[in-house]
Structure 1
Amino acid sequence: MQKYRCSKCRLLHFGDTPPLVCPLCTAPESAFTEDTEASRSLDEYAALQVRGDSWEATHLGHYALQCETLGIPHLSPPLLAMAQDELRHATGFARWSGAAATRDELLDSFKTLLEGKKGSRKLKLEGASLAYAEGNVPLAAWFRVCAEDEERHIRTLEWALRQFQKFA
């Protein structure tokens, strides 16, 4: 399989021939030249998407909350919808990249996630304590809310692990 790069937008196309029209910028076939540089594997492309889409989901959610704080709440719903889309993209790419593909791998991933959640809850409680000590009560309250969410997540993961063991 050969690779062709669009000289206008730099899109990399894989195939026996370049496309008739660039799917990104609509440049004609003549804008493509053969690319001989090493390229990423399919797994690397998927992993990059997981990281990028996760980052986008996080930041879009933040922007939505910030819009509410700044008195422009009508911008929040479309930003939250975009965040949900990006999260769906990230989880889909994680699935296609082979993350936790087998039952045993998923079980191990649940166990690892559970330990991470416990650590995350601890850090949130410590952050709440520090924020309160420094007089930042609103941030302390937010840390506490998030720590409570982590506790709920821990209980849910513990339940999921018990369910796994029942059906193993």
Structure 2
Amino acid sequence: MAATRADLFAFLDRLGIVHRTIEHPPLPTVEAAMAIWGGMTGGFAKNLFVKDKKSRLFLITLRKDAALDLKHVQAAIGASGRVSFCSAEQLMEHLGILPGSVTPFGVINDTEGVVTVVLERALMELDPVHVHPLENTATTAVSADGLVTFLRATGHEPLVVDLPLLA
């Protein structure tokens, strides 16, 4: 059974990670979220769940306004060949979340450690980092260090890299 938002918050609390969450209507896209996030500071994340030619899974988290160059991202993340988006079924199977709610917190459900988490270096230089807490009806702020601590505690050593962006 997939972790709930309450499970996530309890895990963050056990790790001593300070977090702040605001509730809001469902926000399936970054564009919809901007109406809610407008006056808040920090880095707002968008997330892509992709696979490579060998079916290796990657969760890429980057700044909301960064346009990732999907044709050239494989070198930066260590993928084999071009990447493509995973299905909703794969998202639920590996991260226990629905489309529109993709978040690095989803790896709390990846107990087999098959997902590689990739964090954009520029996002990690912003504070705090804002992501969904397993569902798109809230946004949770944590420090960049807190996010890395969470990922490591779930067995996911993140790759913090400069990602290729479209001009």
TM-score range, shorter chain: under 0.3
Select the structure with the greater relative contact order (CA < 8 A; seq sep ≥ 6): 2
TM (normalized to structure 1)?
0.20
Whichever structure has more strand as a proportion of its residues is 2
| Structure with greater helix share of residues | 1
TM-score, reference length from structure 2: 0.20
Please identify the structure whose Cα radius of gyration is greater: 1
